[in-house]
Amino acid sequence: MKTHVSIIVSSEGGLMSEVARIFSELGFKPTLGMHDFVYKWEETRVTPEKVIDLVDKVQTKLKGMNVGLHFVTD
């Protein structure tokens, strides 16, 4: 399974380079196309609770950076 993230940055928020660094630290890889980053789950069975925990970690790290996020897990 993979969790894809699309990012909306603001001119009033954190720099995209800083956002990208944080996503990299959390295990996401940059992508091109419809989404900006992807997280590839190592386990074969991913529960909604695990996805929520991952999103919580992202939100905590990006707090105050004025970044919009859209997550899709498939």
Domain region containing 12: 2-73
How many structural domains compose the chain?
A: 1
CATH (domain of 63): 3.30.70
Task: Kindly report, residue by residue over 7-36, the tens digit of the pLDDT.
Answer: 999 999 999 999 999 999 999 999 999 999
Give burial (CB, 10 Å; 0-12/13-18/19+) of 23.
buried
- Cβ contact 5:68 at 8 Å: no
Task: Kindly report, residue by residue over 29-44, the tens digit of the pLDDT.
Answer: 999 999 999 999 999 8
